[in-house]
A and B are shown apart, each in its own frame.
Chain A
């Protein structure tokens, strides 16, 4: 009856808590549904604002890039770009922190974490599956936001070149590629938040603490980055290169800061995730 490792019939460590079952676990949660629904709602709200609202005249502090707002209604691509522009700073951070920060901490707070570990789901596997699913949901959120914006923006404002005054118009086909590039860089940049939130998630039983902590640290980093007097060390801040995706809009694409930003994000995410695994595979689960 028992196989060599003494496990119950049908038990294989590699088959416990599959990505599919974890995906379903998260899908049934209200916060997942609300977060994804908001990704659909936001472009609609922006569209409604453009339709019924007046024209604002603040330049959003973007300097040469402020015209992104003025050009938002010039086509579907620009509408999508604007939607990303307004959500990149905070909204996406919160959503990613939610998916990655809540995943372990909420199981701990419900008490279901100890039953998963007693199944037993190997700890490293539990973390890996949770991380993959959290990242997948984050990616789905990002794509939902961009996809919805592109769809309704194109339906309303038409399919045209990607416009900005920092460079010449970019033909629609290449514009779409650039938009995908921007999405890719945003996704890479958000890995830092994902890493931080995940590390906090294995360190606390309070899901809100993990999510809020990650967002808070992210904001602190952004504020420090605003203080130019700090000089060189600012380059080490995880949020320093968060705006580098704007370089994708110019022709030719300015990839220097994107490369540096990717290095920074990958390094931070690796450190945070390594710490998370190191910690969780050793800690006493007392919740």
Chain B
């Protein structure tokens, strides 16, 4: 089967198979499902909780167990964010299970398939549920334990789950470590923020975020799955836009703030920089509260958050590393104690390839808080201005889009912030001389006056570039409710406003703009219209915290730079080695002159050429071209003439045998080729330039002096007249052929090799060509002409070599070969009669028809006159008697009986 395929295909087959295997392998490698490193176990766990610990509810749980565990493993209780279920943390659970932890993911009460109502991480409900789950873990044999009912366990969770981790650690000493992420310290402050240090009861209701969460549940048309007290608190605040003391009380009960001193579990706090719900200040408050009792605390910031999503891959990797390190040391008991260093990252721009954010990570050896390690003052200016509070809070300025998630990350970085004319005022700085890397909460002092004595304003810090494009970093604003204000600005007292903590590089040439606005879509503002006057307070400055000694966190980027440098060096080195090896090999090549042939233009010995597909074009060819000779290489089409000449020109590698040109062994590119002029397989010219330019371009490529070219002689030989100035594209075949012969003769090479030189020439030109070639061979030069035309070789050459089927069949002087021949051609009147007569004659060895009404007769030396006399005697008329020559005989003997070329062997 295979053997019947064409040779080319047969050779291509292994390559094709290899490609198919490689592609299949790659696809399989990509598509092959990773075998999970864990097993899962779903269970509905009934826990008893509530204020008296006797209210049973069912919790939907999944336990992930590492597959390759030998013996009990430490556990991680994994809590989800608000609105999620155990499924929304499946990715994290798989990660942690891969690290060797038994992970208990569960759906909190009020969500998904778990029962009960939402009490907002209430210590009697959600936190007690989690305590019962710790009991459940303690009962499992797969979990390692500190004491009989005390499992080795860490608690990890984001947002709603993060607060649960803090509250659980405060309530249950069995928790060994916690990693609360993007969560709150004080829920009442988070939903009722105000940035001048007053009570939450006076906070500005964050209606955007509150509505986003409250509206997101199903069940009861009014309250969904919220517990009645939570529902009432929300309805009261959302209706009036003001907090009630009950609501503040309820929210504070759900907050870690009051119980931070009871947390003994080492805490890794991860907070997002793009988070208008739980800003960096929440983690800061948690960190200070927990650290106050000596519990180890570490803080890390990343560029995501409730607005920014999970951040770019570099941030995610850093958080994953920090979490694993924290749990490994404090829960598993492996690895050194994590350092106390504080790491954060800053948005550097957009990734050109995936359009995501690019961030740079930094670290300092300890957490500096929101005030930074130092501050920088930037002077603001601007007169007192009047701003209007829109009735009903509409239209309102926009700072963030709650719930937009990852979409918000690009939006907040690029800035969606919109301020409305007439509703805001701003105070601006001069362009900065040098860039400032802000990391922390800036502060600014303002004064305000209001006819009603009250005002709700939003203070924002914009980064304004040289074109005037203002960016509100992370979309964060500082809501402020002011009371007891004077009616005129002259009497107003300065008020210190703490702006939200940001991480941003303010470039040199940018200005800072502090803007004070009366409305914001995300907040409930007074319904009544009012006009406020706002001015800068003391100092006229904004204070920017900076962190000194920040070290950039090394990334793989530096590694890639080394890889690039190494690659370039390797390429350069490899190039050098290749050049050196080539030089060395060149020096080692046999340049010795074969003395015997030193004066012989061409000696071909036992030449053999077998092509890659197994076809033997030349099997054994021997011949010599001496100075002064015109040698004809004669043979039918496909006899191996052209292949011989190709090898002779260094175009193909011989499979065996040797060629010597003036005693130098010939290999492709041998310098001795420069003494050889050639026309092989037709002319080859640049079609777009004229004949002269072609000859010049060719001679230029030889790099030899122009004087050696003998241009005029060559041009004369071409005999193209004015046509030599026409583009070669327009030449006839014969004209190109003549130009090619001229090109071969440029520099009057000592050996001229011409392949079918008369192809396309007309008879006078052929005659001229014969003269030229004969003349050329004088002066010690030599010519090798290949042809399949007998007459041409006979008339042009002094010597001839007859090849057929890749082998020499005759060689020698043309005169000798041609000589007198024993065969004669008779043209007779009656062929049949003549044949009969000739058959009878003693001297005649053979009679054959030549196909044209003639007979070819081998008379073996008998006088022709006698044969003619015999024929005439027999009454056969003889029109013509032509002696046949041996060259033709040899030729016909080889090819006459078979018109197929040997190429068809």
B353 adjacent to A231 (CB under 8 Å): no
Q: Is B568 part of the contact surface with A, judged by Cβ < 8 Å? A: yes
Stretch in B212-220, B665-673, B756-764, B771-779 with 4+ CB within 8 Å of A:
B665-673
Q: Which of B351, B563, B611, B749 contacts A8 (CB 8 A)?
A: B749
A24 adjacent to B749 (CB under 8 Å): no
Total A-B residue pairs with C-beta atoms closer than 8 Å? 215
Q: Which of A14, A21, A257, A266 contacts B697 (CB 8 A)?
A: A21
Are A119 and B686 CB-contacts (below 8 A) given A168-B466, A168-B509?
A: no
Q: Is B653 part of the contact surface with A, judged by Cβ < 8 Å? A: yes
Q: Which of A119, A123, A249, A285 contacts B701 (CB 8 A)?
A: A119
Q: B675-696 CB contact bits vs A (8 Å, 1 = yes)?
A: 1101011111111110001000
B560 adjacent to A284 (CB under 8 Å): no
- Kindly list chain B residues whose C-beta atoms are within 8 Å of the C-beta of A15: 703-704
Q: How far is the CA of A179 from the CA of B674 in the complex (A)?
A: 48
A213 to chain B, nearest CB (A): 16
Q: Is B416 part of the contact surface with A, judged by Cβ < 8 Å? A: no
A166 adjacent to B668 (CB under 8 Å): no
Are A65 and B669 CB-contacts (below 8 A) given A11-B702, A115-B743, A259-B557?
A: no
List CB contacts (< 8 Å) of B569-594 with chain A.
571, 574, 582, 591, 593
Stretch in B334-342, B643-651, B826-834 with 4+ CB within 8 Å of A:
B643-651
Are A254 and B358 CB-contacts (below 8 A) given A118-B673, A168-B507?
A: yes
- In the complex, residue of chain B having the shortest beta-carbon distance to the beta carbon of A282: B653
B560 adjacent to A9 (CB under 8 Å): no
- In the complex, residue of chain B having the shortest beta-carbon distance to the beta carbon of A10: B704
Q: How far is the CA of A28 from the CA of B555 in the complex (A)?
A: 51
Q: Is B652 part of the contact surface with A, judged by Cβ < 8 Å? A: yes
Q: How far is the CA of A114 from the CA of B653 in the complex (A)?
A: 14
A5 adjacent to B591 (CB under 8 Å): yes
A118 adjacent to B651 (CB under 8 Å): yes
A7 adjacent to B671 (CB under 8 Å): yes
Best-surrounded residue of B466, B702, B708 (most CB of chain A within 10 A): B702
Q: Is A181 part of the contact surface with B, judged by Cβ < 8 Å? A: no
A120 adjacent to B675 (CB under 8 Å): no
Are A259 and B671 CB-contacts (below 8 A) given A169-B466, A241-B353?
A: no
A263 adjacent to B564 (CB under 8 Å): yes
- Kindly list chain B residues whose C-beta atoms are within 8 Å of the C-beta of A257: 351-353
Q: Is A140 part of the contact surface with B, judged by Cβ < 8 Å? A: no
Q: Is B561 part of the contact surface with A, judged by Cβ < 8 Å? A: yes
Stretch in A47-55, A75-83, A105-113, A148-156 with 4+ CB within 8 Å of B:
A105-113
B701 adjacent to A28 (CB under 8 Å): no
List CB contacts (< 8 Å) of B684-730 with chain A.
684-689, 693, 697-698, 700-705, 708
A29 adjacent to B683 (CB under 8 Å): no
Q: Is B467 part of the contact surface with A, judged by Cβ < 8 Å? A: yes
List CB contacts (< 8 Å) of A97-153 with chain B.
110-124
Q: Which of B353, B355, B560, B684 contacts A113 (CB 8 A)?
A: B684
- In the complex, residue of chain B having the shortest beta-carbon distance to the beta carbon of A65: B352
A167 to chain B, nearest CB (A): 6
- Kindly list chain B residues whose C-beta atoms are within 8 Å of the C-beta of A233: 26, 30
- In the complex, residue of chain B having the shortest beta-carbon distance to the beta carbon of A28: B689
B668 adjacent to A115 (CB under 8 Å): no
Are A115 and B507 CB-contacts (below 8 A) given A2-B662, A7-B672, A254-B349?
A: no
Best-surrounded residue of B351, B681, B693 (most CB of chain A within 10 A): B351
A262 to chain B, nearest CB (A): 6
Q: Is A56 part of the contact surface with B, judged by Cβ < 8 Å? A: no
A5 adjacent to B348 (CB under 8 Å): no
Interface size bracket, B side: 35 or more
Q: Is B35 part of the contact surface with A, judged by Cβ < 8 Å? A: no
- Kindly list chain A residues whose C-beta atoms are within 8 Å of the C-beta of B351: 247, 254, 257
Q: Is B801 part of the contact surface with A, judged by Cβ < 8 Å? A: no
Q: Which of A17, A114, A262, A284 contacts B681 (CB 8 A)?
A: A114
Q: How far is the CA of A262 from the CA of B560 in the complex (A)?
A: 10
A30 adjacent to B704 (CB under 8 Å): no
Q: Is B661 part of the contact surface with A, judged by Cβ < 8 Å? A: yes
Q: Is B465 part of the contact surface with A, judged by Cβ < 8 Å? A: yes
- Kindly list chain A residues whose C-beta atoms are within 8 Å of the C-beta of B701: 16-17, 21, 116, 119, 121
A250 adjacent to B671 (CB under 8 Å): no
Are A6 and B661 CB-contacts (below 8 A) given A11-B704, A120-B650, A267-B567?
A: yes
Q: How far is the CA of A247 from the CA of B663 in the complex (A)?
A: 63
- Kindly list chain B residues whose C-beta atoms are within 8 Å of the C-beta of A263: 560, 563-564, 567
A178 to chain B, nearest CB (A): 13
- Kindly list chain B residues whose C-beta atoms are within 8 Å of the C-beta of A14: 703
- Kindly list chain A residues whose C-beta atoms are within 8 Å of the C-beta of B560: 256, 259-260, 263
- Kindly list chain B residues whose C-beta atoms are within 8 Å of the C-beta of A285: 646, 651-652
- In the complex, residue of chain B having the shortest beta-carbon distance to the beta carbon of A16: B703
Best-surrounded residue of B410, B555, B567 (most CB of chain A within 10 A): B567
Q: Is A60 part of the contact surface with B, judged by Cβ < 8 Å? A: no
Q: Is A230 part of the contact surface with B, judged by Cβ < 8 Å? A: yes
Q: How far is the CA of A16 from the CA of B673 in the complex (A)?
A: 13
Q: How far is the CA of A113 from the CA of B668 in the complex (A)?
A: 14
Best-surrounded residue of B355, B465, B591, B750 (most CB of chain A within 10 A): B355
- Kindly list chain B residues whose C-beta atoms are within 8 Å of the C-beta of A58: none
- Kindly list chain B residues whose C-beta atoms are within 8 Å of the C-beta of A63: 350, 355
List CB contacts (< 8 Å) of A207-229 with chain B.
none
A256 adjacent to B557 (CB under 8 Å): yes
Q: How far is the CA of A12 from the CA of B705 in the complex (A)?
A: 11
Q: A256-285 CB contact bits vs B (8 Å, 1 = yes)?
A: 110110110011001000000000001011
A64 adjacent to B350 (CB under 8 Å): yes
Q: Is B664 part of the contact surface with A, judged by Cβ < 8 Å? A: yes
Best-surrounded residue of A6, A123, A244, A249 (most CB of chain B within 10 A): A6
A161 to chain B, nearest CB (A): 8
B348 adjacent to A252 (CB under 8 Å): yes
* Subset of 10 A-B contacts with CB under 8 Å: A8-B675, A10-B708, A17-B701, A112-B685, A113-B684, A114-B651, A120-B670, A250-B358, A256-B557, A263-B563
- Besides A4-B591, A10-B704, 15 more A-B contacts (Cβ < 8 Å) are A5-B664, A6-B591, A6-B664, A29-B686, A113-B684, A114-B649, A116-B701, A119-B674, A122-B669, A230-B30, A243-B353, A254-B348, A257-B351, A266-B564, A270-B571
